[in-house]
């Protein structure tokens, strides 16, 4: 009596269900990669954490001078530096997150080919580092709001 050969059945959508479970089970790797990137970004630089404040501050100064003073663009009663700061912070976060996530795939190509883990972990850990930069730079926005004594309306809670 011969045994019938075993068959592998590939169905669409089955892998996605396991992918999210794998992401949860590899969360330690996610935090390790994020911590590694945070250490590289802040410990091994001369400016350290202050770079997360200096970059948006310099952008704020340049935009305020060029568009607020030279081009004389209006801001509907809101102080122009405050409006610029509120705009450049999310822009810097999104642009940094996308560029860092894309370059992380290239920089960690050797890691991705050697070991199995969900590939989404590498770019996601870099987005977490960019999110940390965003929260540090948010201090600049609060400082500018305090300088101009501007309290946002309650509608900001609904992002209107």
pLDDT in tens, 70-96: 887 777 778 888 889 989 999 999 999
**What DSSP element (H or E) covers 136?**
helix 121-147
In whole angstroms, give the CA distance from residue 83 to residue 93.
16
What's the whole-model pTM score?
0.76
pLDDT in tens, 17-54: 677 777 788 889 889 989 988 888 888 677 777 888 88
Q: Of 117, 119, 121, 124, which is closest to residue 100 (Cα–Cα)?
A: 124
């Amino acid at each position: 009596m011969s045994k019938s050969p075993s068959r592998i059945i590939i169905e669409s959508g089955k892998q996605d269900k396991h992918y999210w479970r794998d992401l949860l089970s590899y969360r330690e790797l996610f935090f390790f990669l994020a911590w590694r990137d945070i250490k590289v970004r802040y410990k091994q630089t001369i400016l350290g954490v202050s770079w997360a404040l200096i970059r948006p501050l310099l952008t704020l100064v340049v935009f305020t001078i060029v568009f607020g003073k030279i081009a004389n663009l209006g801001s509907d009663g809101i102080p122009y530096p405050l409006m610029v700061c509120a705009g450049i912070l999310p822009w810097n976060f999104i642009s940094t997150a996308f560029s860092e996530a894309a370059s992380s795939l290239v920089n960690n190509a050797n890691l991705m080919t050697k070991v199995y883990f969900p590939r989404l972990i590498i770019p996601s850990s870099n987005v977490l580092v960019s999110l940390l930069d965003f929260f540090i730079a948010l201090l600049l926005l609060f400082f500018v709001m305090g300088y101009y004594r501007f309290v946002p309306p309650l509608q900001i809670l609904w992002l209107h």
